[in-house]
A and B are shown apart, each in its own frame.
Chain A
Amino acid sequence: MSTTERPVLQKKDYKSDQDVRWCPGCGDYSILNAVTGAFAKLQKQLHETVIVSGIGCSSRFPYYMETFGFHTIHGRAPAIATGVKVANPALDVWVVTGDGDAMSIGGNHFIHAMRRNVGLKILMFNNRIYGLTKGQYSPTSEQGKVTKSSPMGTVDYPFSPIALSLGAGGTFIARGVDVFGPHLEEMICRASAHQGTALLEIYQNCNIFNDGAYKTFTDKEVRDERTLAIEHGKPLLFGAQKDKGIAFDGNFKPYLVTGQDLGKAYVWDETAETPAPAMALATMSEAEFPVPIGVFRRREKPAFEAGVQAQVAAARAKKQGSLHELLHQGEIWDVK
């Protein structure tokens, strides 16, 4: 089908006929809205798009989209999606996962997808809780969190998914928030444009088991002071008047700058060779500093599936194999 024949798709065309079954008020609704918005903006073709998910509330996502969808098993979505993408690189493959699915049971597949740079767009809904199993702590829950499975508070230290992805060699690492619709939509579009693995961590509110997890920086009244929207080529400034900034010392230890020192605010380079500034932002204290959102890192690197298929093409170009030749390899002899 050539592009000229393709009908223009509306946002609603990306939604399936299935009733959405997330709890009323769940942050997932806004994410679904941002994804359909982004897909419509990008005019993605339904039949060329595959959404693979694991297990958890977030992983119901494919059922609500009118694309190809594969709701798989707990933690394995990146591995299954890798097979889809490597076997057919022409497909536009998305992974929808959560903090339990991707960071806990599927941690191994997650880091290896990042390491290989497979052309997957991973949307990780992070609500810092296990929702579908009704409220146990997750690997991103803050230490000391009291849940059904941690009545005296958790002893575990949490992961920073962004820092983990940086460590795993991720080539596109970004963060959005469920309630910042236009920003989230932009992040989805940017993830889509990336060759190789794109991780978009989406802070998402679970209004049943972890309500208000992010309200200290997402509520309207505090949003400007408590979030830092990072943008490529621009200094790290925040506040309603953009009168505060983040700078780094020689060891990439962050500190706040204001007034005359505002000029010291670090100018963000998402393509920086060293992951050090991104790591510094990903690990800075949520209590002391504003919470960064936006693109932490973007590096150009050949995608895994392209490399794999290039080897196959090179082998075939060198010498097209035949079954006859294959069977007659090595020492053969005839019996009359």
Chain B
Amino acid sequence: MDQATTTTTFEKPIQDLDQVVIRFAGDSGDGMQLTGDQFTRTTALMGNDIATFPDFPAEIRAPAGTLPGVSAFQLRFSSFDIHTPGDAPDVLVVMNPAALKVHLKELKKDGVLILNTASFSALDLKKAKYEKDPRTDGSLAGWRVIEVDLEARTREALANSPLDSRGKDRCKNMYALGILYWMFHRDMEPTIKAIGQKFAKKPEIVDANLVAMRAGYAYAETTEIFQTAYRVPPAQLPPGTYRNIMGNQALGLGLVAGAQQAGLQLFLGSYPITPASDILHQLAAYKNLGVVTFQAEDEIAAVAAAIGAAYSGSLGLTTTSGPGLALKSEAIGLAVMAELPLVIVNVQRAGPSTGMPTKTQQADLLQAMFGRNGESPVAVLAANTPADAFEVGFEAVRIALQFMTPVIVLSDGYIANGSEPWRLPDIARLPAIPVQFAPPGKPGEKFMPYQRNPQTLARVWAKPGTPGLTHRIGGLEKADLTGNISYDAQNHQHMIDTRAQKIANIADAVAPATTLGPDHGDVLVLGWGSTRGAITSAVLQLQKQGHKISASFLRWLNPLPKNLGALMQNFKRVILPEMNKGQLCMLLRSKYLVDVESYSKVDGQPFKSQEILDYLTKALASPQGGAR
């Protein structure tokens, strides 16, 4: 925040900025996600580009005021095209000492720290493991500290509210939001509308929240401690109709759109698991589009029911996260063998085992690729931004149907809960997804369930209920064409080769890899999944500095794009940042014999663009492999 101050009609000066990063942090009961969400909606409606990153604890309500209970929401908005929710915040709002302790180190030097002094009693400090009050021991030097007793101010504002003091205290996040709305020149109307809708049946709560927000706004406007307001002009986004969207939502919409374009009933079998459950909630509300959702007794039943639905002629879908994918492995193998269209969504989280369910990671790639017994290839693709998840969901449906195969969609916690403006697709231009069920059999003719499309090698889809198509299939190896059980050696070799070739053929039906920047040069940075934003920011910056560096983001991981091998040869070096221990790197090295350099990070947090920039800067200055 270091741009020229201009004079305005406001009493206080307004400074124009091209971007701001704000982080709200407090107890998980302090309403930080709601506050962040409201700021996001307002800002999106005001035409800024925006990216968000909620970071919540695993516990629903950890003990109040403690370090594990801290919940945060970061958002970045700008007047230009941005790719990530930002690294270090310009403004940090902390509701208690625990939030201060967890997040202060990330606040930019000279950044604004808005601190709720109501929660700085000796006990609060002790819970946050502070020995001394950080406000008085010099540890806040270097930041612009604004102390506000949010509780006292909110109670004052709500003196006439019928709510009890507990209820009033709950409105303090809205008071803080009001302050920020003034600081960043935001329109309060969208929030007034949203709160009115959210608590429609509790007018006293609506009133209290809005009074608190307006009071916060007025407080900032009139109090001397706030010297300047800031303005971030709207971004120049491509023309169109926009909506702010989270990754999970976009993925759900893409899957539904795919099923609609295919004219099929979408059947979701799912078992609740963080961070994938929201897709189940979302699709459960789409019954009026013919979507059937089934909350199964466990992960296995969820995929099994989806397979049953696919067998009977619906589009089968199951949604889960890493540990759930592990449980589904055997059933996915059955879908490989039975060659049924099935979409499996894995919203990855930090593992192994239960790991850190609310933190992000991309360490299930090899599980998706190989986590089944036998030679059991499936199609694998990954979403790389919240909005991209729509296209990825749609594409997964298209490929599952065209190739009669299970398709694993990889998302992750960062994409799932992050949000960005999404330019709505033109529905009239969404491609149709042709589906052809086997026609009724002719009398006296034996139906061949493993008859294939010679081009794709997809087998026919025989819908039970169709006369003349009765047949038996299953997990035992089948004779080609008839589907009867076969232990014949040559047949087994042939069927394994055929199933592998079928997946390889998908490469003919998907877009080749493209590059950000020239398709040749010194360094190619490869990315897949949610690393896209951070890599893009870093590579664009290095390009500006004159480096011959390009990036490519892989949507398809199995099969890999046909031109990838040649593309890598166009560069002297290939660097691959991943939130795992180098899983795609390992695949690329083994497939292409290219010395891909892995930049691995597995701390449960997404890459910051600065981290990637630093790594690449160092790499560019050193010989191959020197950055490691």
Residues on A close to B: CB < 8 A?
A: 1, 16, 18, 46-48, 50, 52-53, 55, 62-63, 65-74, 76, 79-88, 90-91, 108-109, 112, 308-309, 311-312, 314-316, 318-324, 326-336
Give B225-252 as 1s and 0s: 1 = Cβ < 8 Å from A's Cβ atoms.
0000000000001111111100000000
Distance in angstroms from B78 CB to nearest chain A CB is 14
Q: Is B111 an interface residue (CB 8 A)?
A: no
- Judge whether A308 and B475 touch: CB under 8 Å: no
Hey, which chain B residues are within 8 Å of A314, CB to CB? 287
CA distance A309 to B294 in the complex (A): 11
Known: A109-B304, A335-B242. 11 other contacts (CB 8 A): A73-B331, A79-B304, A82-B305, A84-B308, A86-B305, A87-B267, A87-B309, A108-B301, A312-B291, A321-B289, A332-B242
CA distance A68 to B308 in the complex (A): 12
Distance in angstroms from A78 CB to nearest chain B CB is 8
Cβ contacts A to B, 20 pairs, < 8 Å: A47-B467, A68-B470, A70-B473, A70-B474, A71-B473, A71-B474, A72-B304, A80-B311, A83-B310, A84-B311, A112-B296, A308-B292, A321-B286, A322-B289, A323-B256, A331-B190, A334-B240, A334-B241, A334-B242, A335-B47
- Judge whether A311 and B427 touch: CB under 8 Å: no
- Judge whether A63 and B485 touch: CB under 8 Å: yes
Hey, which chain A residues are within 8 Å of B465, CB to CB? 47-48, 88, 90-91
Distance in angstroms from A328 CB to nearest chain B CB is 7
- Judge whether A79 and B470 touch: CB under 8 Å: no
CA distance A327 to B260 in the complex (A): 13
Hey, which chain A residues are within 8 Å of B521, CB to CB? none
CA distance A76 to B307 in the complex (A): 11
Q: Is B338 an interface residue (CB 8 A)?
A: yes
Residue in chain A with minimal CB distance to B475: A73
**Chain B interface SS verdict (over half):** mixed
Q: Quick one: given A48-B465, A332-B424, are A86 and B307 in contact (CB under 8 Å)?
A: no
Shortest 10 CB-CB distances between A and B: which pairs? A83-B308, A71-B474, A83-B305, A315-B287, A79-B304, A69-B472, A321-B288, A87-B309, A79-B301, A321-B289
User: Within residues 279 to 298 of chain B, which ones have a CB less than 8 A from any CB in chain A?
Assistant: 286-292, 294, 296-298
- Judge whether A71 and B476 touch: CB under 8 Å: yes
Hey, which chain A residues are within 8 Å of B64, CB to CB? none
Listed residue (A50, A53, A67, A331) with the most chain B CB atoms within 10 angstroms of its CB:
A331
Hey, which chain A residues are within 8 Å of B45, CB to CB? 331, 333
Q: Is B625 an interface residue (CB 8 A)?
A: no
Distance in angstroms from A121 CB to nearest chain B CB is 15
CA distance A327 to B422 in the complex (A): 10
User: Within residues 113 to 128 of chain B, which ones have a CB less than 8 A from any CB in chain A?
Assistant: none
CA distance A335 to B81 in the complex (A): 14
Distance in angstroms from B485 CB to nearest chain A CB is 7
Distance in angstroms from B104 CB to nearest chain A CB is 33
Hey, which chain A residues are within 8 Å of B316, CB to CB? 83
Hey, which chain B residues are within 8 Å of A91, CB to CB? 312, 464-465
Listed residue (B267, B304, B338) with the most chain A CB atoms within 10 angstroms of its CB:
B304
- Judge whether A72 and B334 touch: CB under 8 Å: yes
Residue in chain B with minimal CB distance to A63: B472
Listed residue (A68, A72, A83) with the most chain B CB atoms within 10 angstroms of its CB:
A83
Interface residue from A81, A312, A326, A335 paired with B253 (Cβ < 8 Å): A326
- Judge whether B472 and A71 touch: CB under 8 Å: yes
Q: Quick one: given A108-B298, A331-B44, A332-B424, are A62 and B243 in contact (CB under 8 Å)?
A: no
CA distance A130 to B41 in the complex (A): 60
- Judge whether B472 and A326 touch: CB under 8 Å: no
- Judge whether B471 and A68 touch: CB under 8 Å: yes
Q: Is B330 an interface residue (CB 8 A)?
A: yes
Q: Is B469 an interface residue (CB 8 A)?
A: yes
